[in-house]
Chains A and B, each alone.
Chain A
Protein backbone atom coordinates (compact mmCIF):
# COMPACT_ATOMS: atom_id res chain seq x y z
CA UNK A 1 0.00 0.00 0.00
CA UNK A 2 1.17 3.52 -0.84
CA UNK A 3 0.20 6.14 1.71
CA UNK A 4 1.22 9.78 1.77
CA UNK A 5 0.33 12.24 4.52
CA UNK A 6 0.48 16.04 4.32
CA UNK A 7 2.82 16.02 1.35
CA UNK A 8 4.23 19.44 0.52
CA UNK A 9 6.62 20.71 -2.14
CA UNK A 10 7.96 24.23 -2.43
CA UNK A 11 10.40 25.52 -5.01
CA UNK A 12 12.73 28.49 -4.77
CA UNK A 13 12.60 30.04 -8.20
CA UNK A 14 14.88 32.79 -9.50
CA UNK A 15 12.97 35.59 -11.21
CA UNK A 16 14.73 38.14 -13.39
CA UNK A 17 13.97 41.83 -12.81
CA UNK A 18 15.91 43.16 -15.76
CA UNK A 19 19.38 42.58 -17.12
CA UNK A 20 21.35 42.36 -13.87
CA UNK A 21 18.80 42.12 -11.08
CA UNK A 22 16.92 39.08 -9.92
CA UNK A 23 15.06 37.93 -6.86
CA UNK A 24 14.06 34.58 -5.38
CA UNK A 25 10.46 33.56 -5.18
CA UNK A 26 8.96 30.68 -3.24
CA UNK A 27 6.36 28.64 -5.12
CA UNK A 28 4.16 26.15 -3.32
CA UNK A 29 3.48 23.53 -5.98
CA UNK A 30 1.87 21.14 -3.51
CA UNK A 31 0.58 22.49 -0.20
CA UNK A 32 -1.04 19.56 1.54
CA UNK A 33 -1.93 16.29 -0.09
CA UNK A 34 -2.73 13.02 1.64
CA UNK A 35 -3.70 9.95 -0.31
CA UNK A 36 -3.57 6.18 -0.45
CA UNK A 37 -3.25 3.59 -3.22
CA UNK A 38 -3.93 -0.08 -2.57
CA UNK A 39 -2.80 -3.01 -4.70
CA UNK A 40 -5.41 -3.89 -7.35
CA UNK A 41 -7.00 -0.44 -7.12
CA UNK A 42 -7.19 2.31 -9.74
CA UNK A 43 -7.03 5.69 -8.06
CA UNK A 44 -7.75 8.89 -9.96
CA UNK A 45 -5.99 12.17 -9.35
CA UNK A 46 -7.95 15.03 -10.80
CA UNK A 47 -6.94 18.63 -10.74
CA UNK A 48 -8.20 22.09 -11.47
CA UNK A 49 -5.98 24.96 -12.63
CA UNK A 50 -2.34 23.94 -12.11
CA UNK A 51 -3.37 21.75 -9.24
CA UNK A 52 -0.03 20.06 -8.58
CA UNK A 53 -0.89 16.67 -10.06
CA UNK A 54 2.41 16.22 -11.89
CA UNK A 55 4.45 17.35 -8.87
CA UNK A 56 2.52 14.84 -6.74
CA UNK A 57 3.26 12.04 -9.21
CA UNK A 58 6.95 13.00 -9.35
CA UNK A 59 7.09 12.88 -5.55
CA UNK A 60 5.40 9.48 -5.48
CA UNK A 61 7.86 8.17 -8.07
CA UNK A 62 10.71 9.61 -5.92
CA UNK A 63 11.96 11.79 -8.79
CA UNK A 64 11.26 14.81 -6.60
CA UNK A 65 11.83 14.98 -2.87
CA UNK A 66 8.94 16.39 -0.81
CA UNK A 67 9.68 19.46 1.29
CA UNK A 68 7.68 17.92 4.12
CA UNK A 69 5.19 15.16 4.80
CA UNK A 70 5.43 11.39 5.02
CA UNK A 71 5.46 8.76 2.31
CA UNK A 72 5.02 5.15 3.24
CA UNK A 73 5.56 2.47 0.59
CA UNK A 74 4.43 -0.98 1.75
CA UNK A 75 5.36 0.12 5.26
CA UNK A 76 8.78 1.48 4.24
CA UNK A 77 9.83 5.12 4.46
CA UNK A 78 9.98 5.96 0.75
CA UNK A 79 11.64 9.33 1.26
CA UNK A 80 14.62 7.66 2.95
CA UNK A 81 14.78 4.69 0.58
CA UNK A 82 13.98 5.94 -2.95
CA UNK A 83 16.00 3.22 -4.67
CA UNK A 84 13.93 0.48 -2.98
CA UNK A 85 10.76 2.19 -4.21
CA UNK A 86 12.12 2.47 -7.77
CA UNK A 87 12.40 -1.31 -8.02
CA UNK A 88 8.66 -1.68 -7.58
CA UNK A 89 7.20 1.21 -9.52
CA UNK A 90 7.07 2.58 -13.02
CA UNK A 91 5.48 5.50 -14.76
CA UNK A 92 3.68 5.80 -18.07
CA UNK A 93 3.20 9.26 -19.49
CA UNK A 94 1.11 10.29 -22.43
CA UNK A 95 2.61 11.77 -25.58
CA UNK A 96 5.26 10.68 -28.00
CA UNK A 97 8.38 11.61 -26.04
CA UNK A 98 10.30 9.45 -23.60
CA UNK A 99 11.15 6.67 -26.02
CA UNK A 100 14.00 6.48 -28.51
CA UNK A 101 12.55 7.00 -31.97
CA UNK A 102 15.55 5.65 -33.86
CA UNK A 103 15.52 2.40 -31.92
CA UNK A 104 13.03 -0.36 -32.66
CA UNK A 105 10.26 -1.27 -30.23
CA UNK A 106 12.25 -4.34 -29.16
CA UNK A 107 15.46 -2.32 -28.68
CA UNK A 108 13.64 0.27 -26.56
CA UNK A 109 12.27 -2.41 -24.26
CA UNK A 110 15.64 -4.20 -24.16
CA UNK A 111 17.41 -0.98 -23.15
CA UNK A 112 14.96 -0.15 -20.36
CA UNK A 113 15.01 -3.78 -19.21
CA UNK A 114 18.80 -3.64 -18.91
CA UNK A 115 18.50 -0.52 -16.75
CA UNK A 116 16.64 -2.70 -14.24
CA UNK A 117 19.26 -5.46 -14.46
CA UNK A 118 16.74 -8.06 -15.60
CA UNK A 119 18.25 -11.40 -16.53
CA UNK A 120 18.62 -11.66 -20.34
CA UNK A 121 16.51 -14.82 -20.74
CA UNK A 122 13.73 -13.43 -18.53
CA UNK A 123 13.90 -10.10 -20.33
CA UNK A 124 13.57 -11.71 -23.75
CA UNK A 125 10.44 -13.57 -22.68
CA UNK A 126 9.00 -10.50 -20.98
CA UNK A 127 9.56 -8.28 -24.02
CA UNK A 128 7.79 -10.80 -26.27
CA UNK A 129 4.90 -11.05 -23.80
CA UNK A 130 4.57 -7.28 -23.46
CA UNK A 131 4.74 -6.65 -27.20
CA UNK A 132 1.94 -9.19 -27.59
CA UNK A 133 -0.04 -7.56 -24.77
CA UNK A 134 0.05 -4.16 -26.49
CA UNK A 135 -0.43 -5.62 -29.97
CA UNK A 136 2.98 -4.66 -31.33
CA UNK A 137 4.49 -8.10 -31.83
CA UNK A 138 4.44 -7.69 -35.63
CA UNK A 139 6.20 -4.32 -35.37
CA UNK A 140 8.82 -5.36 -32.85
CA UNK A 141 11.74 -4.75 -35.19
CA UNK A 142 10.54 -1.52 -36.78
CA UNK A 143 12.01 1.84 -35.71
CA UNK A 144 9.66 3.74 -33.41
CA UNK A 145 9.78 6.75 -35.75
CA UNK A 146 7.63 4.77 -38.21
CA UNK A 147 4.91 4.21 -35.57
CA UNK A 148 1.60 6.02 -35.28
CA UNK A 149 0.81 8.01 -32.14
CA UNK A 150 -1.30 5.15 -30.77
CA UNK A 151 1.45 2.61 -31.38
CA UNK A 152 3.99 4.81 -29.61
CA UNK A 153 1.63 5.09 -26.67
CA UNK A 154 1.17 1.33 -26.56
CA UNK A 155 4.94 0.95 -26.55
CA UNK A 156 5.05 3.37 -23.60
CA UNK A 157 2.71 1.03 -21.74
CA UNK A 158 4.94 -1.95 -22.50
CA UNK A 159 7.95 0.07 -21.34
CA UNK A 160 6.16 0.97 -18.12
CA UNK A 161 5.62 -2.71 -17.38
CA UNK A 162 9.14 -3.88 -18.21
CA UNK A 163 10.21 -4.23 -14.57
CA UNK A 164 6.89 -5.87 -13.62
CA UNK A 165 6.06 -3.01 -11.23
CA UNK A 166 3.72 -3.41 -8.30
CA UNK A 167 2.48 0.17 -8.63
CA UNK A 168 2.09 2.14 -11.85
CA UNK A 169 1.72 5.89 -12.25
CA UNK A 170 -0.21 6.85 -15.35
CA UNK A 171 0.13 10.52 -16.28
CA UNK A 172 -2.49 11.30 -18.92
CA UNK A 173 -1.86 8.03 -20.75
CA UNK A 174 -4.46 8.48 -23.47
CA UNK A 175 -3.77 12.09 -24.40
CA UNK A 176 -4.27 12.66 -28.12
CA UNK A 177 -5.39 9.12 -28.90
CA UNK A 178 -8.44 8.19 -30.95
CA UNK A 179 -11.49 6.53 -29.39
CA UNK A 180 -10.68 3.00 -30.53
CA UNK A 181 -7.11 3.01 -29.20
CA UNK A 182 -8.32 4.71 -26.00
CA UNK A 183 -10.83 1.92 -25.41
CA UNK A 184 -8.12 -0.70 -25.95
CA UNK A 185 -5.87 1.05 -23.45
CA UNK A 186 -8.72 1.30 -20.95
CA UNK A 187 -9.17 -2.46 -21.17
CA UNK A 188 -5.44 -2.97 -20.58
CA UNK A 189 -5.40 -0.61 -17.60
CA UNK A 190 -8.41 -2.35 -16.02
CA UNK A 191 -6.84 -5.73 -16.59
CA UNK A 192 -3.56 -4.61 -14.97
CA UNK A 193 -5.40 -3.64 -11.80
CA UNK A 194 -8.13 -6.25 -11.61
CA UNK A 195 -6.38 -9.31 -13.06
CA UNK A 196 -2.76 -8.62 -12.22
CA UNK A 197 -3.33 -6.84 -8.88
CA UNK A 198 -1.32 -3.73 -9.69
CA UNK A 199 -1.99 -0.49 -7.84
CA UNK A 200 -2.53 2.33 -10.32
CA UNK A 201 -2.60 6.08 -9.95
CA UNK A 202 -4.17 7.77 -12.95
CA UNK A 203 -4.24 11.43 -13.88
CA UNK A 204 -6.25 12.51 -16.87
CA UNK A 205 -7.89 15.53 -18.40
CA UNK A 206 -10.61 13.25 -19.72
CA UNK A 207 -13.05 13.05 -16.84
CA UNK A 208 -15.08 10.34 -18.50
CA UNK A 209 -11.91 8.24 -18.45
CA UNK A 210 -11.48 8.75 -14.71
CA UNK A 211 -15.18 8.03 -14.22
CA UNK A 212 -14.90 4.80 -16.19
CA UNK A 213 -11.67 3.48 -14.71
CA UNK A 214 -11.19 4.74 -11.18
CA UNK A 215 -12.32 3.04 -8.00
CA UNK A 216 -11.49 6.08 -5.92
CA UNK A 217 -10.84 9.71 -6.83
CA UNK A 218 -8.84 12.55 -5.30
CA UNK A 219 -9.64 16.04 -6.51
CA UNK A 220 -6.94 18.64 -5.96
CA UNK A 221 -6.82 22.35 -6.54
CA UNK A 222 -3.86 24.73 -6.10
CA UNK A 223 -1.84 22.02 -4.44
CA UNK A 224 -4.50 21.06 -1.90
CA UNK A 225 -6.91 18.20 -1.63
CA UNK A 226 -10.47 19.46 -2.16
CA UNK A 227 -12.45 16.26 -1.94
CA UNK A 228 -11.94 12.52 -2.16
CA UNK A 229 -14.19 9.53 -2.60
CA UNK A 230 -16.09 7.61 -5.22
CA UNK A 231 -17.84 9.49 -8.02
CA UNK A 232 -21.04 9.91 -6.00
CA UNK A 233 -19.13 11.52 -3.15
CA UNK A 234 -17.75 14.11 -5.55
CA UNK A 235 -21.11 14.90 -7.13
CA UNK A 236 -22.71 15.07 -3.69
CA UNK A 237 -19.94 17.38 -2.54
CA UNK A 238 -20.89 19.97 -5.12
CA UNK A 239 -24.64 19.40 -4.56
CA UNK A 240 -25.30 18.10 -8.02
CA UNK A 241 -28.70 16.53 -8.47
CA UNK A 242 -30.30 13.87 -10.55
CA UNK A 243 -32.34 15.22 -13.43
CA UNK A 244 -35.68 13.62 -14.35
CA UNK A 245 -37.73 14.23 -17.46
CA UNK A 246 -41.30 13.05 -16.99
CA UNK A 247 -44.31 13.26 -19.29
CA UNK A 248 -47.68 11.53 -19.46
CA UNK A 249 -50.49 11.41 -21.96
CA UNK A 250 -52.66 14.51 -21.67
CA UNK A 251 -50.34 16.29 -19.28
CA UNK A 252 -51.49 19.84 -18.76
CA UNK A 253 -51.00 22.69 -16.32
CA UNK A 254 -53.45 21.19 -13.80
CA UNK A 255 -51.69 17.83 -13.70
CA UNK A 256 -48.33 19.61 -13.53
CA UNK A 257 -49.42 21.61 -10.46
CA UNK A 258 -50.65 18.43 -8.81
CA UNK A 259 -47.33 16.70 -9.57
CA UNK A 260 -45.39 19.68 -8.26
CA UNK A 261 -47.18 19.59 -4.95
CA UNK A 262 -46.74 15.79 -4.79
CA UNK A 263 -42.97 16.06 -5.28
CA UNK A 264 -42.60 18.97 -2.85
CA UNK A 265 -44.03 16.71 -0.16
CA UNK A 266 -41.20 14.24 -0.81
CA UNK A 267 -38.36 16.74 -1.44
CA UNK A 268 -39.04 20.36 -0.71
CA UNK A 269 -35.65 21.37 -2.21
CA UNK A 270 -36.44 19.90 -5.63
CA UNK A 271 -36.52 22.28 -8.58
CA UNK A 272 -39.42 21.65 -10.92
CA UNK A 273 -40.31 23.23 -14.23
CA UNK A 274 -42.74 22.52 -17.05
CA UNK A 275 -41.35 22.81 -20.58
CA UNK A 276 -42.87 21.66 -23.87
CA UNK A 277 -45.33 19.28 -22.25
CA UNK A 278 -42.60 17.76 -20.11
CA UNK A 279 -41.90 18.13 -16.41
CA UNK A 280 -38.22 18.58 -15.62
CA UNK A 281 -37.23 17.88 -12.02
CA UNK A 282 -33.83 18.30 -10.36
CA UNK A 283 -33.47 16.53 -7.05
CA UNK A 284 -30.83 14.85 -4.92
CA UNK A 285 -33.37 12.17 -4.09
CA UNK A 286 -34.35 9.03 -5.95
CA UNK A 287 -37.71 10.03 -7.51
CA UNK A 288 -38.31 7.37 -10.19
CA UNK A 289 -40.71 5.36 -8.02
CA UNK A 290 -42.39 8.53 -6.75
CA UNK A 291 -43.09 9.64 -10.33
CA UNK A 292 -44.29 6.18 -11.36
CA UNK A 293 -46.52 6.06 -8.25
CA UNK A 294 -48.00 9.43 -9.14
CA UNK A 295 -48.90 8.21 -12.65
CA UNK A 296 -50.63 5.10 -11.22
CA UNK A 297 -52.49 7.10 -8.61
CA UNK A 298 -53.73 9.59 -11.21
CA UNK A 299 -54.33 6.82 -13.79
CA UNK A 300 -52.04 8.48 -16.31
CA UNK A 301 -50.14 6.69 -19.10
CA UNK A 302 -46.41 7.46 -18.88
CA UNK A 303 -44.89 8.68 -22.15
CA UNK A 304 -41.44 9.29 -20.79
CA UNK A 305 -39.59 8.81 -17.52
CA UNK A 306 -35.93 9.50 -17.96
CA UNK A 307 -33.33 9.84 -15.23
CA UNK A 308 -29.91 11.42 -15.76
CA UNK A 309 -27.32 11.08 -13.01
CA UNK A 310 -24.80 13.94 -12.67
CA UNK A 311 -21.45 13.16 -14.29
CA UNK A 312 -18.02 13.66 -12.81
CA UNK A 313 -17.40 16.20 -15.53
CA UNK A 314 -20.37 18.30 -14.37
CA UNK A 315 -19.11 18.08 -10.79
CA UNK A 316 -15.60 19.23 -11.68
CA UNK A 317 -16.85 22.03 -13.92
CA UNK A 318 -19.19 23.27 -11.18
CA UNK A 319 -16.47 23.03 -8.58
CA UNK A 320 -14.05 24.89 -10.82
CA UNK A 321 -16.57 27.67 -11.39
CA UNK A 322 -17.39 27.90 -7.68
CA UNK A 323 -13.70 28.20 -6.86
CA UNK A 324 -13.14 30.89 -9.46
CA UNK A 325 -16.04 32.84 -7.92
CA UNK A 326 -14.50 32.43 -4.47
CA UNK A 327 -11.12 33.66 -5.73
CA UNK A 328 -12.71 36.74 -7.32
CA UNK A 329 -14.72 37.42 -4.14
Chain B
Protein backbone atom coordinates (compact mmCIF):
# COMPACT_ATOMS: atom_id res chain seq x y z
CA UNK B 1 0.00 0.00 0.00
CA UNK B 2 2.88 2.34 0.87
CA UNK B 3 4.45 1.69 -2.53
CA UNK B 4 1.06 2.31 -4.20
CA UNK B 5 0.66 5.66 -2.45
CA UNK B 6 4.26 6.66 -3.25
CA UNK B 7 3.53 6.15 -6.94
CA UNK B 8 0.22 8.06 -6.74
CA UNK B 9 1.98 10.99 -5.08
CA UNK B 10 4.98 10.93 -7.45
CA UNK B 11 2.73 10.92 -10.51
CA UNK B 12 0.60 13.76 -9.13
CA UNK B 13 3.72 15.83 -8.35
CA UNK B 14 5.18 15.12 -11.78
CA UNK B 15 1.98 16.14 -13.56
CA UNK B 16 1.83 19.30 -11.48
CA UNK B 17 5.41 20.26 -12.38
CA UNK B 18 5.04 19.22 -15.97
CA UNK B 19 1.75 20.87 -16.85
CA UNK B 20 0.98 23.43 -14.17
CA UNK B 21 4.32 25.16 -13.77
CA UNK B 22 2.96 28.34 -15.30
CA UNK B 23 0.38 30.14 -13.14
CA UNK B 24 -1.49 31.52 -16.17
CA UNK B 25 -2.78 28.01 -16.92
CA UNK B 26 -5.10 28.31 -13.90
CA UNK B 27 -6.63 31.43 -15.42
CA UNK B 28 -7.10 29.78 -18.80
CA UNK B 29 -8.75 26.76 -17.15
CA UNK B 30 -11.18 29.12 -15.40
CA UNK B 31 -12.04 31.63 -18.11
CA UNK B 32 -13.96 29.35 -20.51
CA UNK B 33 -16.13 27.62 -17.92
CA UNK B 34 -16.84 31.07 -16.47
CA UNK B 35 -17.96 32.48 -19.84
CA UNK B 36 -20.06 29.40 -20.48
CA UNK B 37 -21.61 29.71 -17.01
CA UNK B 38 -22.42 33.41 -17.51
CA UNK B 39 -23.91 32.70 -20.92
CA UNK B 40 -26.17 29.98 -19.43
CA UNK B 41 -27.18 32.24 -16.53
CA UNK B 42 -28.21 35.13 -18.76
CA UNK B 43 -30.05 32.74 -21.08
CA UNK B 44 -32.19 31.69 -18.12
CA UNK B 45 -32.98 35.30 -17.25
CA UNK B 46 -35.13 35.50 -20.38
CA UNK B 47 -37.49 32.82 -19.00
CA UNK B 48 -39.74 32.41 -16.02
CA UNK B 49 -38.07 29.65 -14.01
CA UNK B 50 -40.60 29.80 -11.20
CA UNK B 51 -43.04 27.69 -13.18
CA UNK B 52 -40.54 24.88 -13.86
CA UNK B 53 -41.36 21.23 -13.19
CA UNK B 54 -38.06 20.77 -11.36
CA UNK B 55 -38.58 20.86 -7.62
CA UNK B 56 -35.32 22.48 -6.64
CA UNK B 57 -35.14 25.38 -9.11
CA UNK B 58 -36.64 28.75 -8.39
CA UNK B 59 -35.95 32.32 -9.33
CA UNK B 60 -33.64 32.79 -6.32
CA UNK B 61 -31.36 29.79 -6.61
CA UNK B 62 -30.90 29.57 -10.38
CA UNK B 63 -27.42 31.08 -10.00
CA UNK B 64 -26.40 28.39 -7.48
CA UNK B 65 -28.11 25.67 -9.56
CA UNK B 66 -25.98 26.60 -12.57
CA UNK B 67 -22.85 27.16 -10.51
CA UNK B 68 -23.06 23.65 -9.06
CA UNK B 69 -23.39 22.29 -12.59
CA UNK B 70 -20.34 24.15 -13.84
CA UNK B 71 -18.25 23.35 -10.79
CA UNK B 72 -19.02 19.66 -11.09
CA UNK B 73 -18.47 19.83 -14.84
CA UNK B 74 -15.05 21.42 -14.38
CA UNK B 75 -13.96 18.43 -12.27
CA UNK B 76 -15.17 15.86 -14.78
CA UNK B 77 -13.94 17.83 -17.78
CA UNK B 78 -10.48 18.20 -16.27
CA UNK B 79 -10.01 14.44 -16.12
CA UNK B 80 -11.00 14.02 -19.77
CA UNK B 81 -8.36 16.59 -20.67
CA UNK B 82 -5.78 15.02 -18.37
CA UNK B 83 -6.38 11.62 -19.97
CA UNK B 84 -5.81 13.20 -23.35
CA UNK B 85 -2.62 14.84 -22.04
CA UNK B 86 -1.44 11.57 -20.54
CA UNK B 87 -1.69 9.85 -23.90
CA UNK B 88 1.01 12.28 -25.06
CA UNK B 89 3.47 10.39 -22.86
CA UNK B 90 3.51 7.86 -25.68
CA UNK B 91 4.95 10.49 -28.04
CA UNK B 92 7.53 11.67 -25.57
CA UNK B 93 8.68 8.10 -24.93
CA UNK B 94 8.17 8.40 -21.18
CA UNK B 95 5.24 5.96 -21.26
CA UNK B 96 7.71 3.25 -22.24
CA UNK B 97 9.73 3.87 -19.09
CA UNK B 98 6.61 3.91 -16.93
CA UNK B 99 5.70 0.49 -18.33
CA UNK B 100 9.31 -0.64 -17.92
CA UNK B 101 9.07 0.07 -14.21
CA UNK B 102 7.44 -2.08 -11.56
CA UNK B 103 4.99 0.67 -10.58
CA UNK B 104 1.35 -0.29 -10.14
CA UNK B 105 -0.42 0.96 -13.28
CA UNK B 106 -3.59 1.91 -11.36
CA UNK B 107 -1.48 4.06 -9.02
CA UNK B 108 0.11 5.90 -11.97
CA UNK B 109 -3.27 6.62 -13.57
CA UNK B 110 -4.75 7.63 -10.24
CA UNK B 111 -1.91 10.06 -9.54
CA UNK B 112 -2.47 11.62 -12.92
CA UNK B 113 -6.23 11.99 -12.36
CA UNK B 114 -5.73 13.27 -8.82
CA UNK B 115 -3.43 16.06 -9.94
CA UNK B 116 -5.71 17.11 -12.72
CA UNK B 117 -8.99 16.91 -10.76
CA UNK B 118 -7.79 19.30 -8.10
CA UNK B 119 -5.48 21.54 -10.08
CA UNK B 120 -7.68 22.10 -13.10
CA UNK B 121 -10.72 22.80 -10.99
CA UNK B 122 -9.30 24.74 -8.06
CA UNK B 123 -10.08 28.24 -9.37
CA UNK B 124 -13.56 27.22 -10.48
CA UNK B 125 -14.09 25.56 -7.09
CA UNK B 126 -13.12 28.69 -5.17
CA UNK B 127 -15.28 30.86 -7.42
CA UNK B 128 -18.18 28.43 -7.10
CA UNK B 129 -17.95 28.28 -3.32
CA UNK B 130 -17.96 32.08 -3.17
CA UNK B 131 -21.14 32.15 -5.28
CA UNK B 132 -22.77 29.45 -3.14
CA UNK B 133 -21.88 31.15 0.16
CA UNK B 134 -22.97 34.56 -1.07
CA UNK B 135 -26.38 33.04 -1.89
CA UNK B 136 -26.87 31.14 1.36
CA UNK B 137 -30.43 32.38 1.74
CA UNK B 138 -31.50 30.77 -1.52
CA UNK B 139 -30.25 27.26 -0.71
CA UNK B 140 -31.52 24.50 1.55
CA UNK B 141 -28.61 22.33 2.66
CA UNK B 142 -28.66 18.88 4.22
CA UNK B 143 -25.21 18.81 5.87
CA UNK B 144 -24.88 15.04 6.28
CA UNK B 145 -26.21 14.53 2.77
CA UNK B 146 -23.70 17.01 1.34
CA UNK B 147 -20.77 15.28 3.10
CA UNK B 148 -21.70 11.87 1.70
CA UNK B 149 -22.49 13.14 -1.78
CA UNK B 150 -19.27 15.18 -1.94
CA UNK B 151 -17.27 12.07 -1.04
CA UNK B 152 -19.06 10.10 -3.75
CA UNK B 153 -18.53 12.98 -6.16
CA UNK B 154 -14.75 13.07 -5.62
CA UNK B 155 -14.42 9.28 -5.90
CA UNK B 156 -16.48 9.26 -9.10
CA UNK B 157 -14.54 12.11 -10.70
CA UNK B 158 -11.25 10.37 -9.86
CA UNK B 159 -12.37 6.99 -11.15
CA UNK B 160 -13.83 8.54 -14.28
CA UNK B 161 -10.38 10.08 -14.87
CA UNK B 162 -8.53 6.84 -14.17
CA UNK B 163 -10.86 4.90 -16.47
CA UNK B 164 -10.44 7.41 -19.30
CA UNK B 165 -6.66 7.43 -18.79
CA UNK B 166 -6.65 3.66 -19.22
CA UNK B 167 -8.81 3.91 -22.37
CA UNK B 168 -6.58 6.56 -23.91
CA UNK B 169 -3.57 4.29 -23.39
CA UNK B 170 -5.06 1.47 -25.44
CA UNK B 171 -4.05 3.00 -28.72
CA UNK B 172 -2.71 6.18 -30.25
CA UNK B 173 -6.02 6.45 -32.12
CA UNK B 174 -8.28 7.03 -29.14
CA UNK B 175 -8.34 10.82 -29.43
CA UNK B 176 -11.90 10.57 -30.75
CA UNK B 177 -12.98 9.77 -27.18
CA UNK B 178 -12.07 13.33 -26.27
CA UNK B 179 -14.57 14.68 -28.82
CA UNK B 180 -17.24 12.19 -27.77
CA UNK B 181 -16.90 12.75 -24.06
CA UNK B 182 -16.25 16.45 -23.57
CA UNK B 183 -19.02 18.53 -25.14
CA UNK B 184 -21.78 15.86 -24.96
CA UNK B 185 -21.10 15.54 -21.22
CA UNK B 186 -21.84 19.25 -20.76
CA UNK B 187 -25.01 19.00 -22.83
CA UNK B 188 -26.47 15.71 -21.58
CA UNK B 189 -25.34 15.46 -17.95
CA UNK B 190 -27.67 18.25 -16.90
CA UNK B 191 -25.03 20.90 -16.31
CA UNK B 192 -27.10 23.72 -17.80
CA UNK B 193 -30.55 22.21 -18.15
CA UNK B 194 -32.09 19.81 -15.62
CA UNK B 195 -32.48 16.29 -17.00
CA UNK B 196 -36.07 16.15 -15.78
CA UNK B 197 -37.14 18.35 -18.67
CA UNK B 198 -35.13 16.43 -21.31
CA UNK B 199 -37.00 14.47 -24.00
CA UNK B 200 -36.84 10.68 -23.58
CA UNK B 201 -34.01 10.15 -26.11
CA UNK B 202 -31.81 12.73 -24.39
CA UNK B 203 -32.54 11.17 -21.01
CA UNK B 204 -31.23 7.86 -22.33
CA UNK B 205 -27.99 9.50 -23.50
CA UNK B 206 -27.60 11.21 -20.14
CA UNK B 207 -27.49 7.81 -18.41
CA UNK B 208 -24.05 7.17 -19.93
CA UNK B 209 -22.34 9.92 -17.96
CA UNK B 210 -21.50 9.38 -14.27
CA UNK B 211 -21.73 13.15 -13.82
CA UNK B 212 -25.49 12.96 -14.43
CA UNK B 213 -26.16 10.97 -11.26
CA UNK B 214 -23.80 12.68 -8.89
CA UNK B 215 -24.81 16.16 -10.05
CA UNK B 216 -28.46 15.34 -9.46
CA UNK B 217 -27.59 14.12 -5.96
CA UNK B 218 -25.49 17.20 -5.26
CA UNK B 219 -28.31 19.56 -6.27
CA UNK B 220 -30.87 17.62 -4.27
CA UNK B 221 -28.86 17.84 -1.04
CA UNK B 222 -27.73 21.43 -1.56
CA UNK B 223 -30.84 23.04 -3.01
CA UNK B 224 -33.69 20.86 -1.81
CA UNK B 225 -32.36 19.84 1.61
CA UNK B 226 -32.94 16.22 0.56
CA UNK B 227 -31.86 13.48 2.94
CA UNK B 228 -29.81 10.52 1.79
CA UNK B 229 -32.81 8.21 2.19
CA UNK B 230 -34.94 10.38 -0.07
CA UNK B 231 -32.38 10.18 -2.86
CA UNK B 232 -31.37 6.60 -2.15
CA UNK B 233 -31.94 5.53 -5.77
CA UNK B 234 -29.47 8.12 -7.03
CA UNK B 235 -26.99 7.19 -4.28
CA UNK B 236 -27.26 3.49 -5.19
CA UNK B 237 -26.71 4.40 -8.82
CA UNK B 238 -23.57 6.35 -7.83
CA UNK B 239 -22.20 3.46 -5.79
CA UNK B 240 -22.97 1.04 -8.63
CA UNK B 241 -21.15 3.35 -11.06
CA UNK B 242 -18.14 3.45 -8.73
CA UNK B 243 -18.02 -0.36 -8.67
CA UNK B 244 -18.44 -0.58 -12.44
CA UNK B 245 -15.82 2.10 -13.11
CA UNK B 246 -13.29 0.49 -10.80
CA UNK B 247 -13.84 -2.96 -12.29
CA UNK B 248 -13.76 -1.61 -15.84
CA UNK B 249 -10.55 0.28 -15.07
CA UNK B 250 -8.80 -2.76 -13.62
CA UNK B 251 -9.83 -4.85 -16.62
CA UNK B 252 -8.81 -2.10 -19.07
CA UNK B 253 -5.37 -1.75 -17.44
CA UNK B 254 -4.72 -5.48 -17.92
CA UNK B 255 -6.12 -5.46 -21.47
CA UNK B 256 -4.07 -2.35 -22.40
CA UNK B 257 -0.79 -3.82 -21.15
CA UNK B 258 -1.48 -7.15 -22.85
CA UNK B 259 -2.35 -5.32 -26.06
CA UNK B 260 0.80 -3.19 -25.82
CA UNK B 261 3.00 -6.25 -25.26
CA UNK B 262 1.41 -7.98 -28.22
CA UNK B 263 1.44 -5.08 -30.68
CA UNK B 264 4.43 -3.14 -29.39
CA UNK B 265 2.35 0.03 -29.61
CA UNK B 266 3.78 1.42 -26.39
CA UNK B 267 6.51 2.86 -28.59
CA UNK B 268 4.43 3.68 -31.67
CA UNK B 269 3.02 7.17 -32.12
Q: Contact residues of A with B, CB < 8 Å?
A: 11, 54-55, 58, 61-65, 82-83, 86-87, 89-91, 93, 95, 97-100, 102-103, 107, 110-112, 114-117, 159, 163
Known contacts A64-B261, A112-B101; can you find 14 more A-B pairs with CB under 8 A? A55-B264, A63-B96, A65-B261, A82-B261, A87-B102, A95-B93, A99-B94, A102-B21, A103-B18, A107-B14, A107-B17, A111-B10, A115-B10, A117-B6
- Would you call A100 and B18 a contact (CB within 8 A)? yes
Q: Report Cα–Cα, A115/B11, bound state, in Å.
A: 9
Q: Report Cα–Cα, A68/B121, bound state, in Å.
A: 48
Residues on the B chain within 8 Å of A159, using CB:
97
- Would you call B96 and A114 a contact (CB within 8 A)? no
Knowing A11-B263, A64-B261, the reply to whether A98 touches B93 (Cβ < 8 A) is yes
In the complex, how many angstroms separate the beta carbon of B13 from the nearest chain A beta carbon?
7
- Would you call A103 and B17 a contact (CB within 8 A)? yes
Q: What are 16 A-B contacts defined by CB distance under 8 Å?
A: A11-B263, A54-B267, A58-B267, A61-B100, A83-B102, A86-B101, A91-B100, A93-B93, A99-B94, A100-B17, A100-B92, A102-B17, A115-B97, A117-B2, A117-B3, A159-B97
Residues on the B chain within 8 Å of A117, using CB:
2-3, 6-7, 102-103
Q: Report Cα–Cα, A261/B96, bound state, in Å.
A: 62
Interface of chain B, main secondary structure = helix
In the assembled complex, B44 has its CB within 8 A of some CB on chain A: no
0/1 interface trace, chain B 226-269, chain A, CB 8 Å (1 if under): 00000000000000000000000000000000001111101100
Residues on the A chain within 8 Å of B97, using CB:
91, 98, 112, 115, 159
What residue in chain A is nearest B17 (Cβ atoms)? A103
Residues on the A chain within 8 Å of B98, using CB:
115
In the complex, how many angstroms separate the beta carbon of B255 from the nearest chain A beta carbon?
14
Question: Which of B13, B92, B264 is within 8 Å of A98, CB to CB?
Answer: B92
In the complex, how many angstroms separate the beta carbon of A291 from the nearest chain B beta carbon?
53
Q: Report Cα–Cα, A97/B2, bound state, in Å.
A: 30
In the assembled complex, B99 has its CB within 8 A of some CB on chain A: yes
Residues on the B chain within 8 Å of A100, using CB:
14, 17-18, 92, 94
- Would you call B14 and A111 a contact (CB within 8 A)? yes
Q: Report Cα–Cα, A148/B170, bound state, in Å.
A: 34
In the complex, how many angstroms separate the beta carbon of A47 from the nearest chain B beta carbon?
17
- Would you call A63 and B261 a contact (CB within 8 A)? yes
In the assembled complex, B9 has its CB within 8 A of some CB on chain A: yes
